Amino acid sequence: MNLVHLLRNVSARDLVQALERDGFRLYQRPRGSSRMYRHPDGRKALIHYHRGSDTLPRGTLGNVLNGTQWTEEDARRLGLIR
């Protein structure tokens, strides 16, 4: 099953916590709702949200997952999927 489909109801807060558990750190917070997270190995994830309880649109979530290069196994390890 597609990882975007599995994570479509995950809140932005939970996604950010998973990023931080995986070693990503807040790299840049531009004006507005954008937050850039960077991993020491060079991977980047840009997340746009206003409230932590927001869920991300599928396209945005897909872009975040492309940047993180997470697999379904990674999502389970990070507690995003049970």
pLDDT digits (tens, 9 = 90+) for 34-71: 899 999 999 999 998 889 999 999 999 999 999 999 99
pLDDT for position 31? 73
Distance of alpha carbon 55 from its chain centroid, rounded? 11
Domain range summary for the chain, segments of one domain joined by + = 3-77
pTM for this structure?
Answer: 0.90
The class level of CATH for 3-77 reads: alpha beta
Whether the pLDDT of residue 30 is over 80: the answer is no
Average pLDDT, the chain: 92
Angle at 16 between CA 33 and CA 10, to 5 degrees: 95
pLDDT for position 1? 63
Q: How many Cα atoms within 13 Å fall on the side-chain side of residue 26? A: 8
